[in-house]
Amino acid sequence: MKKSYLAFCDIEGNVYKHPGALAAFRSGRRFVKVDEKELIPIPDGSTLYLLPQRYPVEGKNFKTITHYNGNTIWAVSSFLSSGYLRTYLPAYVKAKDAPVLSLWAYCGLVFVGDDFYVPALRIDPDPRSDPALHRNDIELFKQIKVVKEQYPSNSLVRQLAKCSTQYGCLCARNFFLSRYEAPLPTTKSCNALCLGCFSFQKDTGVHVSQYRLTRQPSPQEIAEVMLHHIERVDRAVVSFGQGCEGEPLLRAKDLAAAISIVRSKTSKGTIHLNTNGSLPQGLQQCIDAGLDSVRISMNSPTEEYYTRYYRPKNYSFKDVLHSIEVALKAGIFISINLFFLPGFTDAQSEVGRLCTFLDNFPVNMIQTRNLNIDPDYYLDSIGFEDEEAIGVRQLLKLLQTKYPRLTLGYYNPPKEEFGIITKFD
């Protein structure tokens, strides 16, 4: 492969290749040279982001570059399409007045020849969120109209219409297009104050990606949407716990009621719950009603880092572990939604704790999700002291070797695939 050159942008956001500076990446707070073996062409549907008040760093001597041809320049980042996991961060140095970055997962970006390349890998072959499947707005709006006319009083249908158009939620779009997974946002409130929450930010200077739903649908409305999707889609998944809501287990009684309605009518479809795992008794209620799978979110298996990120209210890390125990005892499919940040998740101490966690809690899957947050804001907020990292790819290979029955992926699988172990290349 040809050499990788530094990508930068002017203050208006135009992106350029530096003709004389090789590129660099970051792992945690450390600058690293580019390993061409880590690079892939930027995936279709990925976007580029200007990084305001952040100056790019070149890859030969890790020097900061503040100007080009007499003009101030800023660093640039990629944001990857769904299904891809970044392995390195963009290399930059912050100016003193640099604002906190918006809630995106910032990935390194370089030029190889005249083309963009990124340090990343495809972690899940499932095509459900591939951009090529979602360039169909005419069909989407047609189907939104059909479904809204079919359920004129259903507030959840109205919320999903808003999510699929205003917020561009691909999961919500798939509901109206009768395919894959349908989201079921149900809950206005939350019992955590996550640093990277998409729908609620207070005094951070960061704007939310979407606002929380304002009306909580009834169990009957929820069941109506679930049945609509399950009856029309082969290997359908319907899932509680979405970015436009709080913690769904706060409505465990209502969720269990909706699940019971559906299960009284059909055994088809996978009923899934995305949750912070804060309420083990609530999770048990949903399992007793017929829940098929659960995904519990974590930024880290280390209690102090977990607590500093989630900032839980009226629950603790021990409650999360108890929820995992409840799911394991019940025998339902359980995933950990592990937020990856290169240099932290693959840090040696974190790798050791993750392995200890998996030894004690043999979950079925780790969903490897890029953490959408300003890397410096995150590392400062959780109090992480920089250390050597083994590399994201090396971490994934270690997990595949040490835990051969563990699936690594990105999406909630249908129950027809619960026994299939998928691996990354």
pLDDT digits (tens, 9 = 90+) for 89-106: 999 999 999 999 999 999
Query: In the chain, where are the structural domains located?
Result: 4-122, 131-417
Calpha distance 205→193 (Å, rounded): 15
Calpha distance 64→256 (Å, rounded): 55
pTM of the model: 0.95
Calpha distance 321→306 (Å, rounded): 12
Question: What string of pLDDT tens digits covers the 425 residues of the chain?
Answer: 789 999 999 999 999 999 999 999 999 999 999 999 999 999 999 999 999 999 999 999 999 999 999 999 999 999 999 999 999 999 999 999 999 999 999 999 999 999 999 999 999 999 999 999 999 999 999 999 999 999 999 999 999 999 999 999 999 999 999 999 999 999 999 999 999 998 888 777 787 888 889 999 999 999 999 999 999 999 999 999 998 899 999 999 999 999 999 999 999 999 999 999 999 999 999 999 999 999 999 999 999 999 999 999 999 999 999 999 999 999 999 999 999 999 999 999 999 999 999 999 999 999 999 999 999 999 999 999 989 999 999 999 999 999 999 999 999 999 999 988 876 66
Q: The tokens of 45 are what? A: 């549907």
Contact 101, 70 (CB under 8 A): no
Backbone angles phi and psi of 60, in degrees to 5: -85, -55
Contact 165, 173 (CB under 8 A): no
CATH of 131-417, one of 3.40.50.1820, 3.20.20.70, 3.40.50.300, 3.10.20.600: 3.20.20.70
Contact 343, 386 (CB under 8 A): yes
Calpha distance 209→373 (Å, rounded): 12
Calpha distance 285→185 (Å, rounded): 18
**DSSP strand E in 148-229: where?**
181-184
**DSSP strand E in 157-269: where?**
181-184, 237-240
